[in-house]
Amino acid sequence: MELNSIKPAEGAKHAKRRVGRGIGSGLGKTAGRGHKGQKSRSGGYHKVGFEGGQMPLQRRLPKRGFKSHLLKFNAEVTLTALNQLELAEVDVLALKKAGLVNELAKVVKVIKSGEISKAVKLSGITATAGAKAAIEAAGGSLA
């Protein structure tokens, strides 16, 4: 293969439609723009969502819900993930090093998903009621 022999795939290229080139072309006179009106004029158009002065849909519908920008600072860890960690004492820094939580995480919570069989001491980490019971049943503690 040579650079000068490369060609586009069959059917990938097609001729540009030339409008306004006489009646015989089939695209003369109004050049596919119809008759009169804003859309037929050069430079005449409107913003996205404009409905000719009628109250646009995005303003007719009610505003609903919101997503907190603080969510990126919260993280969750499962009991299964804690069980796989080879540490007796776990804190936020240890979870970040292990790659279990995001580097931005400030608040970490353990959720009851899976099983835990070894004693783990948590410091600076909260847990749900079910997860706390499971950790304490395995001989661990929350500080």
> Tens digit of pLDDT for each residue in 110-133?
999 999 999 999 999 999 999 999
Residue 110 near residue 74, CB atoms below 8 Å? no
Cα–Cα distance measured from residue 88 to residue 94, given in angstroms and rounded to the nearest whole number: 11
Question: Which residue range is the domain that position 52 belongs to?
Answer: 17-61
Mark whether 50 and 91 lie in a shared domain. Answer: no
The reply to whether the predicted model has a pTM over 0.75 is no
- For the chain, which residues score pLDDT lower than 70? none
Mark whether 54 and 88 lie in a shared domain. Answer: no
**Total of domains in the chain:** 2
User: Is residue 5 in some structural domain?
Assistant: no
Mark whether 79 and 134 lie in a shared domain. Answer: yes
Cα–Cα distance measured from residue 89 to residue 141, given in angstroms and rounded to the nearest whole number: 10
pLDDT at position 46 = 85
Mark whether 56 and 76 lie in a shared domain. Answer: no
